[in-house]
Amino acid sequence: MSSLLPFLRDQIDSQEDEILLATARGLAKIVPSIVSGADCAPILDILESLLGVEETVVRQGAIDTAKHVVSHCPPAQSPRLVSMFKNLAAQEWFTGRVSACGVFPAVYSNASEDAAAMAEILGIFKGLAADETPMVRRAAALALGEAAKAVGADVAATEICPLFQKLQEDEAGSVRELVGANTSAIATVVEDPGKTSSIVLPTFKLCCEDKSWRVRKVAAKGYAEVTEAIFGKGGDLPGAAQTTLIECYTQLLRDPEAEVRGCAALNISKVLSISWSAGGESVFKESIAPSLDDLSKDSTMDVRAKLAQALMEVASPSNPSVSDDTTIAVIRPIISAMLSNEEESDEVKNYILSKLPMLGKLLKSMDEVVAIVKGLSKYDQNWRTRESVARTLPAIAEAYGIEKFAAGQDSYLSLWMGLLADQAASVRMSCVEGMYKIYSVAAADPATSSDPSSWVTKNVLDTLKPQYDSSTFYLTRITILALYNELCHDGSVPPALARTVATALVAALSDPVANVRTAAARHLLECMPHCGDDICNGVIKSAVKETGDRIDLDKDEVMDPDHDTRDFLKKINAMMD
């Protein structure tokens, strides 16, 4: 170590920022693995020099390392740390003062046994927060949250909160932006709802009303976290304070800047989860719902997309904040209008469609939405939209029941079967993934529960068999084989259906296309654990042996077209032995 320190000191004179940054980061690895916190004075000397470097990235690396090193220093090192802090704060060039703000929380925490030192460095930090240089005030604003944690609730309320309030009035928008970003941390430290409503809330309200949209965006983005922190652990925030918070939020939802509206809209679900005394549903219906129609027609697509995301989170049955009745009355018309709007972006439509399955049985009360879904699959040229429709159809089957799902020539089932032949592989596979869900609905429906295998065979498999036999495109056959495999989802499949699946897969082992044979062999391997011994021995074993004899399983040349098929058949043989 004695030879390493001179080398590190020499690096400080380097003109290369990359070397300085590497030195700053490397010092963090030395303490405490090589040098203990009690012996780190030489490390602090080097860090003090790096903390005054003009390059921001180097300086930030040095701040991070300094906080790490200080956390390992014993109280005996406090005088050296305080000296370093004072030296930085007294530098004429602003870079040292910026770094002083960054290391203040760590140095203050280390001086916990020296009340005089704590008071001195706190006074210096307060002076830095009023520095004439905006970059220093910005650094102080950035450190407010950590500073509040370091000084504790009582000192934070009396010393840090006044700085918090003062910096929110700063002429520099970037300073006010950082104040807004630290609101949640300060409210969490102060904790007491009475103090937060009288100290933190007025400052946060100013952030929500700030002339800079960037400050308002920070307030909108962190609104839920700030509100939860202001509420405190007891959730007993005075009614007037709750009213102020709700008014701030509705104002952010109607902000003239699109980025602010988008961030506010994205927070709807989190806002409703807060323990409002009036209840989340009341807040939603009375304060948020009036803004939703305008947001759904917002001229900025990003706002509409974030609204769609938030509404689908709110509508989810797993969200206890809003009842099903409110979802049907308020949210359904909005998502219906967004889906039916031909000028709406694919991104917005696809997000709504992708989340419709999680609404479950609520879809039964959303006839117009379901009708739009059916229409979208027919004319929409975006394959992602068709993919979302394919994923939604099994949920529609669950909501309406299998009879209504399959009723009529233009049924949802025929729509699903049509998408099974879609030109996009992702659409086809989405249909395949829904096969077991449709079977499960048939098994649960009173009309078909006595023999769901017959329903699936008659309405799905018998329809697909002619398509399989007449197909000239091998991917069609691979898709149908994947669907057969999906039916053997687990051991709950009846033996008759498992036998049908095994027979179809075995027949595909003779397909002229190697890819189809490989798919059949792979699916057989996956299905075998869910087939009984009689099916494995009576249907699969003899067919696999015959195929293996034909293609010679011991022939392992990589270029052989049946190489992959042989690998799967070998595994099947091993499983049956």
Q: Which pLDDT value is given to residue 561?
A: 59
According to CATH, the topology of domain 465-577 is Leucine-rich Repeat Variant (1.25.10)
Q: Which pLDDT value is given to residue 207?
A: 94
Which amino acid, 216?
Answer: R
- Residue 527 in tokens: 């299905």
| Cα–Cα distance measured from residue 41 to residue 208, given in angstroms and rounded to the nearest whole number | 45
Do residues 300 and 262 make contact, with C-beta atoms less than 8 angstroms apart? yes
Q: What three-state secondary structure class fits 556?
A: coil
- DSSP assigned state of 537: I
Reduce the secondary structure of 140-201 to three states and give it as a string. HHHCHHHHHHHHCHHHHHHHHHHHHHHHHCCCCHHHHHHHHHCHHHHHHHHCCHHHHHHHHH
- DSSP assigned state of 459: I
Q: Which pLDDT value is given to residue 556?
A: 58
- Residue 18 in tokens: 């990359």
- Tell me the CA distances in angstroms from 471 to 379, 422, 426, 464, one per residue in order: 25, 14, 19, 10
Q: Could you check whether the bond before residue 42 is cis, i.e. omega within 30 degrees of 0?
A: no
In the chain, domain spans: 345-450, 465-577
Do residues 574 and 567 make contact, with C-beta atoms less than 8 angstroms apart? no
- Residue 401 in tokens: 């029941």
- Residue 12 in tokens: 């400080």
Nearest Cα neighbor of 414 from 439, 431, 433 is 431
Per-residue pLDDT of the chain (577 residues; tens, 9 = 90+): 445 555 555 556 556 778 888 888 888 888 787 777 677 778 888 888 888 888 889 889 999 998 998 888 888 888 888 999 999 999 888 999 999 999 999 999 988 888 899 999 999 999 999 999 999 999 999 999 999 999 998 899 899 999 999 999 999 999 999 999 999 999 889 877 777 888 889 999 999 999 999 999 999 999 999 988 887 655 567 788 889 999 999 999 999 999 999 999 999 999 998 878 778 889 999 999 999 999 999 999 999 999 999 999 999 887 788 898 999 999 999 999 999 988 888 889 888 988 898 888 888 899 899 888 888 766 567 888 889 889 999 999 999 999 999 988 788 999 999 899 888 999 999 999 999 999 999 988 888 888 888 999 999 999 998 988 888 889 999 999 999 989 887 777 788 888 888 888 888 888 888 899 889 888 888 888 888 777 777 777 777 777 766 666 666 554 445 677 777 777 877 776 6
| Cα–Cα distance measured from residue 384 to residue 424, given in angstroms and rounded to the nearest whole number | 9
Do residues 398 and 443 make contact, with C-beta atoms less than 8 angstroms apart? no
| Cα–Cα distance measured from residue 420 to residue 476, given in angstroms and rounded to the nearest whole number | 9
Reduce the secondary structure of 26-67 to three states and give it as a string. HHHHHCCCCCCHHHCHHHHHHHHHHCCCCCHHHHHHHHHHHH
Is the pTM for the entire model greater than 0.85? no
| Cα–Cα distance measured from residue 524 to residue 556, given in angstroms and rounded to the nearest whole number | 21
Distance in Å from the first CA to the final CA of the chain:
64
Q: Which pLDDT value is given to residue 559?
A: 43
Q: What three-state secondary structure class fits 96?
A: helix
Q: Which pLDDT value is given to residue 149?
A: 93
| Cα–Cα distance measured from residue 51 to residue 29, given in angstroms and rounded to the nearest whole number | 17
Q: Which pLDDT value is given to residue 532?
A: 76
